[in-house]
């Protein structure tokens, strides 16, 4: 029969030290971290590409003309930009006093415009009937204009990129079909 006497002879179990418990926990955490990190590294990849975009400077109008004090001639617009463009211009004439101050508007109907290359639309602008390449210029808007009065004739030019075709319609409200405006 069993009397439980062997229990008295068993050696008691030694408690673990705090240092060994901490070492065990840190080891387990390290194993788990390496396993998870290795699995994530195995399942993911990364690649990077650097693209540098440059923005076109766009069309830039430059009005060229000859003026000798009495006659304005060879008035045209050069595209100083880096893309093809469409061009429109206004012509504003004013009577000036002896000090150069504007005293009244002057009619421009006695100015001879080049209607073979330019067309005037209802908004008062003159539209060039062509696309102007970078560095190129339009045909003359005004071949020559002479006045015996004290008049200032100012040309204001605007450009818009030729492509996309919708650009002129969006910006100026008129469409260009390659040879005419509407």
Per-residue pLDDT reduced to its tens digit, 85-144:
999 999 888 888 888 888 888 777 778 899 999 999 999 999 999 999 999 999 999 888
Its CATH architecture, for the domain 61-172, is: Sandwich (2.60)
Residue 39 scores a pLDDT above 80: no
8 phi and psi angles, rounded to 5 deg: -75, -25
* CA–CA distance, 93 with 77 (Å, rounded to integer): 18
* CA–CA distance, 82 with 77 (Å, rounded to integer): 15
Q: Six-digit token pair at 173?
A: 């409200």
Closest Cα to residue 115, out of 181, 17, 60, 61?
181
Would you say 96 and 150 are in contact if contact means Cβ atoms under 8 Å apart? yes
| 48 compared with 157, residue with greater pLDDT | 157
Domain positions in the chain are 61-172
pLDDT tens, 154-178?
889 999 999 988 889 999 999 998 8
Distance of CA 139 to the CA centre of its chain: 28
């Amino acid at each position: 029969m069993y009397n439980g006497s062997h229990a008295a002879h068993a050696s008691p179990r030694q408690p673990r030290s705090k240092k060994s418990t901490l070492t065990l926990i840190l080891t387990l955490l390290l194993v788990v971290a390496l396993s998870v990190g290795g699995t994530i590294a195995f399942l993911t990849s990364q690649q990077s590409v650097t693209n540098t975009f440059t923005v076109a400077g766009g069309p830039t109008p430059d009005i060229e003309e000859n003026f000798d004090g009495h006659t304005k001639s060879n008035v045209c617009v050069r595209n100083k930009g880096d893309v093809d463009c469409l061009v429109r211009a206004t012509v504003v004439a004013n009577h000036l006093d002896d000090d150069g101050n504007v005293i009244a508007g002057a009619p421009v109907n006695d100015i001879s415009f080049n209607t073979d290359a330019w067309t005037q639309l209802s908004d008062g602008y003159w539209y060039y009937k062509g696309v102007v390449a970078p560095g190129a210029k339009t045909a003359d808007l005004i071949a020559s204009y002479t006045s015996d009065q004290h008049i200032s004739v100012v040309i204001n030019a605007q450009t818009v990129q030729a492509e996309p075709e919708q650009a002129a319609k969006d910006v100026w409200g008129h469409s260009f079909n390659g040879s005419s405006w509407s």
